[in-house]
Amino acid sequence: MAKTDAFNADTRKRVTARELKLELKRLVEAIVGDEENGDGVCEDQASKVLSALKEMKLRKSESISLGSVCVPEEFRCPISKQLMGDPVILSSGKTYDRPFIQKYLKEGHGTCPLTQQVLSHTILTPNLLVGEMISKWCMNNGIAPPKPVAALDDELVTDAERDRLKLLLEKMSSSLPVQKDAAKELRLLTKRMPSFRALFGQSADAIPQLLNPLSPGGGVDTADSDLQEDLITTVLNLSIHDSNKKLVGESPIVIPLLIESLKGKTVEIKRNAAAALFTLSALDLNKQIIGQQGAMQPLIELLDEGHPLAIKDAASAIFNLCILSENKVRAIRDGAIQAILKKIRDKTLVEELLAILAMLSGHPKSVEEMCANEAVGCLLSILRESHCERNKENCVVILYTICYYNRSQLRQVREEEDDFGTISKVAQFGTSRAQRKASGILERLHKVTSVTHTT
């Protein structure tokens, strides 16, 4: 992997198309050949190399032949700052290169990038005059005319976007009003533009610069709540981008900051911090990092607080993290069982929380906690009254485990079966998994009854 890391650094410098193609070939062979690549690094690197090739293709005619020739400003696209290959006129009367203005409009903008004039329509008219002028200028200067690009990849980054990001990140070291304006813009850009999310993955310094106002020197306790909300939401936006998950998760400042923000000043800060942890935990390596950093307890506390906007994000993060066995132990230790049963009894997010409880139920300590919190009666009630097959399945899965580890709970299950035939109904009409677990409970009840009658 050292070679790949070295290459990744080189791609930020000037490399040839041949070098890019050779590296892409090597990465594809590594992926197809099933080499050690458990964390998906080769796939991520191949994606980055492919993006670099696309960008190089887009600029090829200009980069090969322009040299030291000064391109007239009217021949450059105002968005990309590159020599236009397919100039078109917007309804505002301004001319842009087709793929770049199409990308701009696709992102939902309704104004002209240059004049900010509201567009009466988004029809693009070929600017034949400028096109001819560019062709003649190229011919007179011995330059190959740029070839039109049919479509622009959403993640292809322009020089203008790089410059914009650099300026916004520099503002993170300025005064509070400047920081707040820049943070708000970064939040919007990373929400709307995949290319801006991808851009953060090209610089190791981008995330530390972004979070500079919340660094240990300042801290979230003293930070402006609006600024903190925008920065945490920007981290969430970045985490949605698959190729950023490893980069963001392994940044030494991100996970501790998100965990601290679970106790933030506003509900929006808390829920977006939880959502970011959920998104990052899609990677097993991040599950481990997040669990080791101590996220489970504040997530459970957020779940226990009961704010409807935050509970679902906290529950989603807990579920994802508990796929890792060591995080199950942490969740049980930090009070997850009690908090979950409390919410289920309040009829809050019953389906999601039963799924977490079923996941945790395989651990003996969780059975002990459930019995101490009188979970059996609650589960039997849901099993009897619910019309949701998934809820019934999870309930009977949990009950099966409780009956396996703690025979003393069989009496309550026996009474429920005698009065309502609840378990038998699931064994007959439930999902295939629910039928198996319900049949297992009935067999256990039968064995215990047989032993009792025999003795």
Q: Give pLDDT tens digits along the chain (455 positions).
A: 444 443 443 444 345 667 777 777 777 777 766 544 445 667 667 777 776 666 655 554 444 445 557 888 899 999 888 899 999 999 999 999 988 898 888 877 889 999 989 888 888 888 999 999 999 999 888 888 887 765 555 556 667 778 889 999 999 999 999 999 999 999 998 988 888 888 898 888 999 999 999 875 555 566 789 999 999 999 999 999 888 999 999 999 999 999 999 998 899 999 999 999 999 999 999 999 999 999 999 999 999 987 888 999 999 999 999 999 999 999 999 999 999 999 999 999 999 999 999 999 989 999 999 999 999 999 999 999 999 999 999 999 999 999 988 888 999 999 999 999 999 999 999 999 999 999 999 999 988 766 554 44
- On whether both 86 and 176 belong to a single domain, the answer is no
Contact 121, 131 (CB under 8 A): no
Give the domain-ending residue among 127, 151, 175: 151
- On whether both 122 and 167 belong to a single domain, the answer is no
pTM over 0.75: no
- On whether both 374 and 442 belong to a single domain, the answer is yes
Residue with token string 């009666």: 377
The answer to whether residue 343 sits within a structural domain is no
- On whether both 121 and 212 belong to a single domain, the answer is no
- On whether both 315 and 328 belong to a single domain, the answer is yes
- On whether both 145 and 170 belong to a single domain, the answer is no
The answer to whether residue 326 sits within a structural domain is yes
Residue with token string 């650099």: 166
Phi, psi of 133 (to 5 degrees): -60, -40
Between CA 193 and CA 158 the distance in angstroms is 12
For 114-151, the DSSP string reads TT-PBPS----EE-HHHHHHHHHHHHHTT-PPPPPPS-
Q: What is the CATH number of the domain that holds 251?
A: 1.25.10.10
Number of domains in the chain: 3
- On whether both 293 and 414 belong to a single domain, the answer is no
Between CA 428 and CA 435 the distance in angstroms is 6
Residues sharing a CB contact under 8 Å with residue 31, sequence separation 6 or more, in sequence order: 37, 42, 43, 46
- On whether both 131 and 170 belong to a single domain, the answer is no
Range of the domain at 235: 155-334
| Pick from 303, 317, 233, 302: nearest CA to 268 | 233
SS (H, E, C) 179-203: HHHHHHHHHHHHHHCHHHHHHHCCC
Contact 217, 179 (CB under 8 A): no
- On whether both 272 and 393 belong to a single domain, the answer is no
- On whether both 114 and 261 belong to a single domain, the answer is no
Taking only the tens place, the pLDDT of each residue in 417-450 is 999 999 999 999 999 999 999 999 999 998 876 6
